[in-house]
Chain A
């Protein structure tokens, strides 16, 4: 799995359920060789995976996405235009080990992605 898509610069979190993570995108990640040749665009699904990884980082436990209620991709993101961004994570426990994840990727005035998903401890 691509482990070099992004790196975590900073994490502000007061519990294992919510926080804001400052991330940096890696323009040299090989996914950009194919998405797209001559026009690097951060794949939406890689940003969903980045949110999942950030949620794991805050939650201190591996999680799996079971359902995506809604995911809106509201602006095109590229490592050139947006080298860094904030990933905001909020987990609400619905039942034992199952959570509603609400998350967003933003930088400045721009929101790149909002996500509402059901995730579970893995």
Chain B
């Protein structure tokens, strides 16, 4: 199942101006493919380049959308997710406005609502960023 643009609002709790994923190409129980086209009005663009916080937020929201696919299929609201830890994060380049990022998210482990994911972001096959991220999903009270 593919999700685009505002359909993604069913998967992630973030809203403009900090929505940093615009497509989920596919998602399974253990992995997902997401994307983002960098537009000039993106809040993390400076001097025509998508800066470090934008890349990291794109990965975090890709992981959120991946988690959201599961809750959406169960008919639940997306849970708030918070980054707990970022490790081994390599930022090879700062993408230009107009490029499309494609990100592969892999679930490494999930214990008590804490998800460990690994992510790789590419532009036309070329590695842009990679990292390991620990994400806490907040349960509804």
- Interface residues in A44-80 (C-beta closer than 8 Å to B): 44-46, 48-49, 52, 64-73, 76
- Interface residues in A29-51 (C-beta closer than 8 Å to B): 30-31, 33-37, 39, 41, 43-46, 48-49
Where the two chains meet, the residues of B that have a C-beta atom closer than 8 Å to any C-beta of A are 13-19, 43-46, 51-54, 56-57, 60, 80, 82-91, 94, 131
- The chain A residue sitting closest to B92, CB to CB, is A66
By Cβ-Cβ distance, the 4 closest A-B pairs, closest first, are A34-B15, A68-B89, A45-B53, A1-B46
Query: In the complex, how many angstroms separate the beta carbon of B28 from the nearest chain A beta carbon?
Result: 26
- The chain B residue sitting closest to A72, CB to CB, is B85
- Interface residues in A76-119 (C-beta closer than 8 Å to B): 76
Q: Indicate if the CB atoms of A69 and B46 lie closer than 8 Å.
A: no
Q: Indicate if the CB atoms of A36 and B86 lie closer than 8 Å.
A: no
> Given the complex of chains A and B, what is the CA–CA distance between A120 and B87 in angstroms?
19
> Given the complex of chains A and B, what is the CA–CA distance between A69 and B86 in angstroms?
8
Q: How many A-B residue pairs have CB under 8 A?
A: 87
Interface of A is mostly: mixed
- The chain B residue sitting closest to A2, CB to CB, is B43
Query: In the complex, how many angstroms separate the beta carbon of B40 from the nearest chain A beta carbon?
Result: 12
Q: Indicate if the CB atoms of A66 and B19 lie closer than 8 Å.
A: no
Partner of A1, one of B18, B44, B90, B131: B44
Partner of B57, one of A30, A43, A68, A76: A43
- The chain A residue sitting closest to B85, CB to CB, is A72
Q: Indicate if the CB atoms of B56 and A66 lie closer than 8 Å.
A: no
